Chains A and B, each alone.
Chain A
Amino acid sequence: MATSKNISTISYNTKEYLEDTLNRLIKEKKIQFWMYIKHDAEEDETKDHFHVFIQPNVLLDLLDLQYEFEEVNPANLNKPFRVMPFRHSDVDEWIPYALHDKGYLALKCESREYFYLKSDIVSSDEDYLDHLYRHAFKASKWAKDSALLNQIVSGELSPHELIDKGYVSMNMATQVNAYFYMKTHYGLDRNGRENHEGDF
């Protein structure tokens, strides 16, 4: 498949070869920006790896690109260090996942053992990384959803404010009402009689 959209992969290369190859691709004007982060193996993973994000500059054949990262493995020549097949990637999602951001992972119903800092991300352009980072955590769709969810859970927003402020469209009013009713009446409906929660 050929693409010029943003792509990402997981790399098992050495740090030096990975960086060398990424820099070469910039010199050859095939890509315009890269960043990567090293992750330690989690419980359900077998080895340390790099998450790599690439912003192409031209139409790239993804299989050709994958071959660029085939690195000679001195211990076993027939089993090169390599990258996983490239996939399209949304930078607003890549950055919080790369950092194992708790808020982002919670939205995806996931959790991880290790967490990382922005300074752990290595990139070809620090200023551009700053820009992407700010957007991912403040202006992206998931960040806005997460902030809204926090406000609803903490009770900062009432049902009508959700509609007044344009978070939810008017025709969803009854669903919003149902949600808040569910939240306050989640126990048994005993027709006005008290439940037994206080007994325990």
Chain B
Amino acid sequence: MRKAKITEDKPFRITLRLTQTQYDFLDDLSKVYGVNQSEMIRKLLDSFRCQQKGKEDGNE
């Protein structure tokens, strides 16, 4: 992973290599959630991060 100073205001760009199956899945999911693929990946990470935090805090 590239070393960089990351802030909420200045996110950094990464390149992601996906197979056709993975891309199609991401594309389908993006349509369900009404966002583009890049935002969908962010949403997946945000959702899982928050849900993980909820489990740790006992808010499940």
Contact = CB atoms under 8 A, between A and B. Distances in A.
Interface string B32-47: 1111000000011011
Given A14-B50, A14-B51, A72-B43, 18 more contacts: A14-B54, A16-B50, A16-B51, A16-B53, A16-B57, A17-B47, A17-B50, A20-B50, A21-B46, A27-B9, A67-B33, A67-B34, A70-B35, A71-B43, A71-B50, A72-B48, A78-B32, A80-B33
Interface string A52-71: 00000000000000010011
A72 B47 CA distance: 6
B33 A70 contact: yes
A16 B54 contact: yes
A15 interface: yes
Interface residues on B, range: 10 to 19
A70 B34 contact: yes
21 contacts: A14-B50, A14-B51, A16-B53, A16-B59, A17-B46, A17-B50, A17-B51, A21-B46, A24-B8, A67-B33, A67-B35, A70-B33, A70-B34, A70-B43, A71-B46, A72-B33, A72-B48, A74-B51, A77-B29, A80-B32, A80-B33
Contacts, number: 47
Interface of B: 8-9, 29, 32-35, 43-44, 46-51, 53-54, 57, 59
A28 to B, nearest CB: 9
Contacts of B43: 70-72
Interface of A: 14-17, 20-21, 24, 27, 67, 70-72, 74, 77-78, 80
Nearest to B56: A16
Contacts of A80: 32-33
Q: Specify which of A72, A74, A78 lies most central, judged by the most chain B CB atoms within 10 Å of its CB.
A: A72
Contacts of B33: 67, 70, 72, 80
